[in-house]
Amino acid sequence: MLHIAMFSDTYFPYISGVVRSIERLSEGLRERGHTVTIFGPRYLGHSHDADEIERISRCPALPIYPPGNIVVPLPSIVSLTRQIRNMDVDVIHAHSPFIMGLAALQVGRRLRIPVVFTHHSVYHEYAVYFPKPLRAPTERAILHWVSHYVHQADQVVVPSVATREFVRETYGVDCAVVSNPIVGPPQGISKPPRPDLSAPILVYVGRLGKEKSLPLLIRAFSLVRKKMPASLVLVGDGPEREHLEELAEALRVERYITFTGFLPYQEVSEWYQRATVFVFSSEKETQGMVMLEALAHGVPVVAVRSEASEAIFNVCRAGCITESEPRAMAQGVLAILSDPQALAQMSKEGLMYARRFSPERVAERMEQVYQTAGAGIRSMIDRSYRSESK
C-alpha cells in the first residue's frame, strides 16, 4: 500500500471543483487501503479539530479575501521536507503548479520522491481577472511557468481527453487521462421519477466568475420565463454575483432567481435532486465536473458547446448542446421540458454514464499512475506536438 502526500493551494473550507476532486480521490484511495495526507493552507477562523483525524496538514497562509476564504499559502520547505521524510511518503501528488505545487517539487527532489501533477485548469485564462493592459503579459507569464512546471513533474495527469490535447500542443508533454471523481446523492436517496414540469427548476452549480459566461445563462432564462413559470437557482458564489443580480433586475426576472452562495456538498446535492434541468453556460471547462454531478443525480443537462460538453454528450444522450447564445440555450431548455418521456430517458442514461466516474474507479486508475511514477518512468516529452502547434 502507498502513502500519498497531496499538495494544494486551496482546501476546505474553500470550496471549488479542485477541492472536491481532492477530497473524493482521497476517499477512494483510502477505501483501497492507501494512506493519504493532504497539505494545504490554514484559514482564519477555521476549526482544525478534524484535521488530525482526516490527515490534513496546514501551513501558514496570508489572507487576501477572508469572506471568500481566499489565501496565499506560505509553506516552509524545511518543515515540509521534515514532515514528508518522517511520514515515509511514496508519492507526492501536486494539484497546483503554483505555490504548493512548487513546494511539492522541491520536497520531492530533496527526498527523491516522484511527483505527480494534475493539470486541473487552463490556467492562463484566469488572466481575464487582471486589468486589460496586464492580461496579455500575464497570460504569457502563466503559460511560461506552467510549461516549466509540467516538464519538471515525473508524471502529468489531466481530467479529460480535451485537456490532454491542450497540454500536448501547448507544452509538448504527454500525460495520463484520469477523470475527476464524481458522486451522486447520499446512499439510499434518489431523484423523484416524475419532476414537476408545471413549475420547472433550472439549476446551475459553480463559481460566479467571468469565465462561466453567466450573463448568457440569465438572458436565456429570461426567455424561458416568457414561455413557462420556471425558476433558476445559482448555487455558488464569486466576484460576478453583484453584476448578475443587477442584470436579473434589469431583465425583471430577479424574483425568479435564487442566489444560494457557497454551500456544503450535502446541500448542493439537495439542489441537484430538486432540479428539473441542469444548465451550464461555460465554454471553458476541462471536464465539466458539475455536469457529470448533475447526471449522477439523474438530472438532464443543457450546456453551451465546449470541449467538455461535447466530450460528454457526444457519448451520453442525457443532455443537449447549444450554441453560446441566449436564444439557442433557451430553445434547448424548452425542448427538453416539452417532452416528459425524453426527460425521463435522459435521467436514466445520465445515471448509467456517471457510474464510470465513481471515486473507486478513479482511485484504481490513479493507482496505476502512481506506480508508473514510482517506477521512475517519466512522462515522455514528444517534441512533435510543439512543432505541429507552431
What is the CATH classification number for the domain harbouring 44?
3.40.50.2000
Do 335 and 375 belong together in one domain? no
Name 94's bridge partners.
7, 117
Average predicted confidence (pLDDT) for the chain = 91
Do 24 and 142 belong together in one domain? yes
Judged by average pLDDT, the poorest of 36-40, 82-86, 146-150, 378-382 is: 378-382
Q: Mean of the pLDDT values across residues 10-37?
A: 95
Q: Does residue 338 fall inside a structural domain? A: yes
pLDDT of residue 193: 58
Judged by average pLDDT, the poorest of 41-50, 208-217, 260-269 is: 41-50
Do 363 and 353 belong together in one domain? no
Asked if pLDDT for residue 383 goes beyond 60, the answer is no
Q: Does residue 186 fall inside a structural domain? A: no
Do 80 and 146 belong together in one domain? yes
Do 278 and 376 belong together in one domain? no
pLDDT of residue 128: 85
Q: Does residue 282 fall inside a structural domain? A: yes
Do 349 and 377 belong together in one domain? no
Q: Does residue 196 fall inside a structural domain? A: no
Do 10 and 134 belong together in one domain? yes
Q: Mean of the pLDDT values across residues 196-219?
A: 93
pTM, to two decimals: 0.86
> Distance between CA atoms of 230 and 249, rounded to whole angstroms?
16
Asked if pLDDT for residue 384 goes beyond 50, the answer is no
pLDDT of residue 190: 60
> Distance between CA atoms of 156 and 208, rounded to whole angstroms?
29
Asked if pLDDT for residue 295 goes beyond 60, the answer is yes
pLDDT of residue 52: 77
Q: Mean of the pLDDT values across residues 322-335?
A: 98
Asked if pLDDT for residue 231 goes beyond 50, the answer is yes
Judged by average pLDDT, the poorest of 9-13, 286-290, 363-367 is: 286-290
Do 295 and 364 belong together in one domain? no
The amino acid at residue 4 is I
Q: Does residue 192 fall inside a structural domain? A: no
Q: Does residue 195 fall inside a structural domain? A: no
* Range among 61-70, 77-86, 188-197 rated most confident: 77-86
Using pLDDT thresholds of 50, 70 and 90, give the confidence band for residue 389.
very low
Q: Does residue 331 fall inside a structural domain? A: yes
Using pLDDT thresholds of 50, 70 and 90, give the confidence band for residue 179.
very high
pLDDT of residue 112: 95
Do 274 and 249 belong together in one domain? yes
Domain of residue 212: give its range.
Answer: 201-357
Do 209 and 153 belong together in one domain? no
Do 340 and 363 belong together in one domain? no
Q: Does residue 189 fall inside a structural domain? A: no
Do 111 and 220 belong together in one domain? no
pLDDT of residue 294: 97
Using pLDDT thresholds of 50, 70 and 90, give the confidence band for residue 377.
low
pLDDT of residue 188: 57
CA nearest to 7, candidates 92, 78, 113, 70? 92
Number of domains in the chain: 2
Q: Mean of the pLDDT values across residues 314-335?
A: 96
